[in-house]
């Protein structure tokens, strides 16, 4: 049997059969917290925020994802380095030079800072 046919026919059928068995055989006893809008037990009140958040955490998270995915390219380069000859090696070196320049620019622009932002807010309030 062709692997592609197996992938597109057998796998969805198996998934539907397993979901059906789960639906038929599992017990359904939700408690009050599971039925509530938030499983944590808090009721949502419109217009209320529990705490302020800083956009800095999202920026650091996005930067981490970008560099994590780029560093993920190390594995194929490391595996095929003997087969790609000098041209492939030079392309990999250029890629990592560009990656390093981007990381240095992010650090120098202040997107990634190691200081606590609450400390800087406290020092601004004291002035």
**Better-scored residue on pLDDT, 98 or 40:** 98
CA dihedral 87, 93, 98, 100 (to 10 degrees): 170
Q: Which residues contact 89 (CB under 8 A, 6 or more apart)?
A: 81
Q: What is the pTM of this model?
A: 0.44
Q: Does residue 42 surpass a pLDDT of 50?
A: yes
Kindly indicate the confidence band of residue 53, based on its pLDDT and cuts at 50, 70 and 90: low
The pLDDT > 90 percentage for the chain reads: 11
**CA dihedral for 49, 51, 57, 61, sign (positive or negative):** negative
What confidence tens digit (pLDDT) does each residue in 60-70 have?
Answer: 788 888 778 77
Strands, E, within the chain: which ranges? none
């Amino acid at each position: 049997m062709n692997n592609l046919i197996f992938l597109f026919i057998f796998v969805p059928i198996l998934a539907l059969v397993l979901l059906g068995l789960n639906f038929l055989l599992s017990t359904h006893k939700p408690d009050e917290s599971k039925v509530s809008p938030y499983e944590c037990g808090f009721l949502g009140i419109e217009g209320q925020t529990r705490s302020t958040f800083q956009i800095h955490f999202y920026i650091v998270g996005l930067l981490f994802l970008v560099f994590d995915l780029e560093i993920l390219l190390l594995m194929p380069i490391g595996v095929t380095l003997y087969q790609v000859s000098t041209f492939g090696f030079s392309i990999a070196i250029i890629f990592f030079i560009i990656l390093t320049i981007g990381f240095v620019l992010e650090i120098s622009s202040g997107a990634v800072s190691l200081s606590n932002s609450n400390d800087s807010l406290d020092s601004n309030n004291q002035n």
